[in-house]
């Protein structure tokens, strides 16, 4: 069952005392890592970064994954490298999931990446992050209409957090694109979107528009 409704929900990413700790040594290592001089050093750094990516909101680093990047290191590669290190240094610590409390999801899409966060409210009503997930869009996905990109982000979130969400009685997904309300109810659905709606129907999700 998939229900669409409009409403306000200020989504803030806050820390919580009951936390999932990131390894301080790994954080220090990744933040002090020098610019890679070859492909081996780059792979080593990306391997360490991958260990921590669930703690980080924006971990789509496509420009660093391309072949021969280390041989042809350009300013945009350095910018991406520095941005990832900064992101890890400032990432909030995550709370452990509490299956006795409801989950909700925040998802978003840009022109080139999708991301989402699995969240819960604690006993004091504070909104806490359980996990972040993000990835770079594939070349074909970059050509999707805006509402399809937002649906792609939602689908990605439900797949990544399936173990927590599939058995939920009802959970909320928050998106900042009101177009989803009309896109998902349109009688003229593209084949791709029709497949996605069939997938969404497996979940008891209520989609909220959050401006």
Q: How many domains does the chain have?
A: 2
Examine the domain organization and report whether 82 and 107 are in the same domain. Answer: no
Domain that holds residue 83: 22-90
Examine the domain organization and report whether 157 and 63 are in the same domain. Answer: no
Examine the domain organization and report whether 114 and 202 are in the same domain. Answer: yes
Last residue of a domain, one of 71, 90, 109: 90
Complete DSSP assignment for 47-90 = HHHHHHGGG-S----GGGTSTTTGGG--HHHHHHHHHHHHHHHH
Whole-angstrom Cα distance, residue 202 to residue 173?
14
Name residues whose C-beta falls within 8 Å of residue 209's C-beta, 6 or more positions apart in sequence: 5, 6, 7, 175, 176, 177, 178, 180, 181
Name residues whose C-beta falls within 8 Å of residue 2's C-beta, 6 or more positions apart in sequence: 184, 197, 200, 201, 203, 205, 207
Q: In the structure, what pLDDT confidence band is assigned to residue 54 with cuts at 50, 70 and 90? A: low
Contact 203, 166 (CB under 8 A): yes
Q: Which two tokens stand for residue 160?
A: 């990544």
For residues 11-30, average pLDDT:
46
- The separation between CA 205 and the C-alpha centre of its own chain, rounded to angstroms, equals 17
**How crowded is the C-beta side of 151, counted as CA atoms within 13 Å?**
26
pLDDT digits (tens, 9 = 90+) for 185-200: 666 667 777 788 888 8
For residues 70-98, average pLDDT:
76
Q: What is the pLDDT of residue 15?
A: 32
Last residue of a domain, one of 38, 70, 90: 90
Q: What is the pLDDT of residue 92?
A: 60
Main-chain dihedrals φ then ψ at residue 8, nearest 5 degrees: -100, 135
Q: In the structure, what pLDDT confidence band is assigned to residue 162 with cuts at 50, 70 and 90? A: very high
Whole-angstrom Cα distance, residue 94 to residue 131?
7
What secondary structure, in 3-state letters, does 95-114 show? ECCCCCCCEEEEEEECCCEE
For residues 86-104, average pLDDT:
78
Indicate the SS3 state at residue 115.
strand
Examine the domain organization and report whether 12 and 28 are in the same domain. Answer: no
What secondary structure, in 3-state letters, does 4-56 show? EEECCCCCCCECCCCEECCCHHHHHHHHCCCCCCCHHHHHHHHHHHHHHHHHC
Which CATH number characterizes residue 147's domain?
3.30.420.10
Examine the domain organization and report whether 158 and 176 are in the same domain. Answer: yes
Top mean-pLDDT range of 29-43, 46-60, 139-153, 171-185? 139-153
Q: What is the pLDDT of residue 21?
A: 47
Examine the domain organization and report whether 177 and 86 are in the same domain. Answer: no
Does residue 140 carry a pLDDT above 90? yes
Neighbours of 148 (CB within 10 A): 19
Does residue 1 carry a pLDDT above 50? no
């Amino acid at each position: 069952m998939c229900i669409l409704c409009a409403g306000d929900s200020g989504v803030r990413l806050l820390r919580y005392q009951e936390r999932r700790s990131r390894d301080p040594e790994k954080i220090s290592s990744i933040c002090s890592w020098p610019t890679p001089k070859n492909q081996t050093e780059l792979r080593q750094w990306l391997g360490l970064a991958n260990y921590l990516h669930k703690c980080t909101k924006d971990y789509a680093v496509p420009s660093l994954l391309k072949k021969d990047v280390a041989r042809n290191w350009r300013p945009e590669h350095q910018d991406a490298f520095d941005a990832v290190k900064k992101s890890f240094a400032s990432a909030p610590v995550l709370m452990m999931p509490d299956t006795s409390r409801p989950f909700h999801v925040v998802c978003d899409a840009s022109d080139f990446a999708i991301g989402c966060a699995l969240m819960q409210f604690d006993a004091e009503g504070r909104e806490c992050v359980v996990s972040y997930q993000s990835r770079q869009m594939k070349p074909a996905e970059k050509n999707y209409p805006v509402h399809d990109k937002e649906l792609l982000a939602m689908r990605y979130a439900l797949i990544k957090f399936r173990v927590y969400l599939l058995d939920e009685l009802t959970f909320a997904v928050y998106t900042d694109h009101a177009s989803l309300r009309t896109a998902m109810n349109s009688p003229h659905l593209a084949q791709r979107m029709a497949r996605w709606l069939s997938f969404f129907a497996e979940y008891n999700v209520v989609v909220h528009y959050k401006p």
